[in-house]
Amino acid sequence: MLTEEPITFSLVDVVLDEFESPMISQPLYVNDSTSTNPTLIDTCLFSDVVGLVDLLRTQDPLVYPNPTSGTVSVRTNNHWDGTVLNIIDMMEDRVNRTELSSWRRIIDLEALPVGVYLYHVVAPDGRTVAGKLIKE
C-alpha cells in the first residue's frame, strides 16, 4: 500500500562498554541528532548460545532426580496444574499414571524394575512434555 506521508527513519547506536564471556550485559543508548549526549534506553543481554528449546524449557515440568533409585519428584508451574504424568516402559506399556493436583508431587517408583522409561506429562489443554527417566 502506497502512502503520501513522509517516512521517518531513526538511527540507533548500540554502545558496548566491555565484553564479558559468556554473557554480556550492557546499556543500550540511542543518539538524538539534536544532542551530543546519548540517552540510556534499556539494558540488553547478549549470550553466546540462544536456542528455542532452552526458552521453552523454562515452562516445562521438572522430573527429578534422574536417574532415580525409587522416588521422583515432579514440579510444575502454576499453569501446569491438573496435568497427568504417565510413565511408559520400553515395551510401550503404561506402568504408572499420576494426576498432578499440586505444583509438586512425589511419586514412588520402587516397584518398577531397573531400566529406562519414558515419561509424558499431559496438560488439560493438550500440551505434552516427554522425557527419559532412568530407574537404577
The rounded distance, in Å, linking the Cα atoms of 55 and 49 is 11
Tell me the C-alpha distance between 77 and 73, whole Å. 13
- Express each pLDDT in 44-53 by its tens digit: 444 444 444 4
In the chain, the percentage of residues whose pLDDT exceeds 70 is 52
Residues 10-37 have a mean pLDDT of 47
Distance CA 25, CA 100 (A): 38
pTM, to two decimals: 0.55
For the chain, where do the domains classified as CATH 2.60.40.1220 start and end? 60-135
Half-sphere exposure of 65 (CA within 13 A, CB side): 7
- Tens of pLDDT, residue by residue over 25-80, are 444 444 444 455 555 555 444 444 444 444 344 456 788 899 999 999 988 765 66
Specify the fold of 60-135: Immunoglobulin-like (2.60.40)
